[in-house]
Amino acid sequence: MLFNSITFIIFLPIVFVLYWFVIHKRLDRQNLLILVASYVFYGWWDWRFLGLIFISSLADFIIGQKIDNATNLKKRKNYLISSIILNLGLLGFFKYYNFFVDSFIELFNVFGITLQKGTLEILLPVGISFYTFQTLSYSIDIYKGNLKATKNPIAFFAFVSFFPQLVAGPIERAKDLLPQFLTKRQFSYDFAISGLRLILWGLFKKVVIADNLAKYVDIVFSSPEDYYGISVIIATVCFTFQIYCDFSGYSDIAIGVSKLFGFKLMTNFRTPLFSSSIKELWGRWHISLSSWFRDYLYIPLGGNKVGKWRWSFNIFLTFLISGLWHGANWTFVIWGSLNGIYLIVESFTQKQRNQLYQFIKLTHFPSLLKVIQIVITFCLFAFSFMIFRAETTKDAFLLINHLPQKLFTQLSSLEGFLVPFQSIFSSTKEFSYLFSSFVLFFVIDIFIRKNGIDYTLKNISPFFRLLIYYFIIGWLLFFGAFGEPQEFIYFQF
């Protein structure tokens, strides 16, 4: 079930009314309703997925009890290892089986040995990367003593399958979200209105920006052999904003819907594309995943409390695995590795860059320096997303090769400059609609950079707040890409 579908528009009010007006006096019934609603929501894609999430939830519920009740460290560690093997085993089999088999066959082909692939094709369950990491955090936090195992199966199953954030996050820690299922919830008008603000802004980013950009991005990336220079740059920039608006839009809607039911989820994006360094950007982009890898992989490896070269290894490995987490394709592995390299180089060259800024007097103009740093950071990040979006590594290297080609010719005249735009955008009117929507989004994103959309709107006068609501709704209805609802990009991960 998609947030941007008619089905969800019908589904959400029904669950909301039952939750707050029919069974609001019983916490156990509210949790049971969330569990049932979540399974309906998830099973809407394919009912066969329900068996996997049920098995994963049941296993971790039992293992959590075992870890908590274990009398010695060895037993606790063995139970934790069983949870890790189970969750990563399920994730590895369903997500990476075909990837590793294909890679294995290709490797032998290099040496002239032809292998035949079997007939087993694995269907990727929606959201498996998200809920396996969420249940893993439960087992790990119990092992570390940060959380007590719950004896309430309904609350735990509802926590794992909580429909607002089930298929694309934010990836919540058990110690933060699970206690909310065990505590009586009271309806708050202000909390609900706050949720509706986030839902509105999330829908704007998804339907007006991301879905409208998608068709132009697809034109270039589906036929990379036909496009050069500015065309590749346009598509790459468009995809960077598409994936940001698509994924952050989903996160906003998920957080907003959760607030309607009295739950607080973590912020997943904080206007990352205005970051002035790669380090800052990764502190603002997909925060729930970045912090998960930080706490459960990077810090256990030694974090930054080791030598410089070991730190570099820790960073590179964390980002490489993060890239692989995104999908069974070498393009994701390269994307993750490249961002790890960015961070390492940024750290090693900090002193030299500061000296350069002082030499060319940029430190005398801090605002200009900030803008230059933001532009450089964006270009590096966008380049990595060109590889991320490519369907194969062959396409990725083809796009990299085509990027500088014909660029000088295109920039040497106005006519040459306009040709790439005309090859992607079907009309001037269509481009002007998209451009005006993008400018509106860009201005709002700058305006809310410090405090977020919810806090910003809450702290202006009621008149202007209402005016902004109507303006965004009107723009959404007029410029939104409606019709067949488009899935969120991160559903494939």
d(CA 428, CA 442): 20
- Of 150, 172, 149, 151, the closest CA to residue 162 belongs to 172
Helices and strands per DSSP (H, E), number in the chain: 22, 0
Residue 211 phi/psi, 5-degree rounding, is -70, -30
SS3 102: helix
d(CA 121, CA 97): 8
Contact yes or no for 386/239 (Cβ under 8 A): yes
Q: What residues are labeled active site?
A: 326
Distance, C-alpha 389 to centroid of its chain:
14
Where does residue 286 fall: left (phi above 0), alpha (psi -120 to 50 degrees), or beta otherwise?
A: left
Q: Angle, to 10 degrees, between the axis of helix 230-260 and the axis of helix 6-17? A: 20
- Of 321, 318, 292, the closest CA to residue 304 belongs to 318
d(CA 436, CA 98): 43
Contact yes or no for 325/297 (Cβ under 8 A): no
d(CA 179, CA 226): 54
Where does residue 438 fall: left (phi above 0), alpha (psi -120 to 50 degrees), or beta otherwise?
A: alpha
